[in-house]
Structure 1
């Protein structure tokens, strides 16, 4: 499952990189919460939480409904 999540994040990454940011997969918890770390401009952006919830989480849940949430660490 982790490999699938990393592959999905690789598809999202160009959109973040276009704005000077990036995302790093940290872990998948036992209760199917994906933990990621935003990098670059995304790390300090006031819209970072919106990027995680309305962008990354929405896309990952569409592809993998068993994912319960995406959180930033």
Structure 2
């Protein structure tokens, strides 16, 4: 599942980089929890929770079977 998650993270990455940020995949657990780290401008952005939940989590849940939640570390 980690490879599939990374594939979709790589598709999301350019839109974050366009705003001066980035995202790094840290871990995918057996329970379907995806842990990511926001970098650059995204790390301190007040909208980072929305980026994770409405952007990254929504995309991963729709495209990768078994993803339950995305968490920021």
CA distance in 2, matches of 1:58, 1:65: 12
Q: Which has the higher contact order (CA 8 A, sep 6+)?
A: 2
Per the normalisation by structure 1, the TM-score is: 0.97
* CA displacement at 1:5 relative to structure 2: 0.7
CA distance in 1, matches of 2:14, 2:30: 28
5+ long unaligned stretches in structure 2: none
CA distance in 2, matches of 1:53, 1:18: 19
CA distance in 1, matches of 2:23, 2:2: 15
* CA displacement at 1:44 relative to structure 2: 0.3
CA distance in 2, matches of 1:9, 1:30: 18
After TM superposition, the structure 1 = structure 2 runs for residues 1-73 of structure 1, keeping only pairs within 5 Å, are 1-73=1-73
RMSD (Å), alpha carbons: 0.7
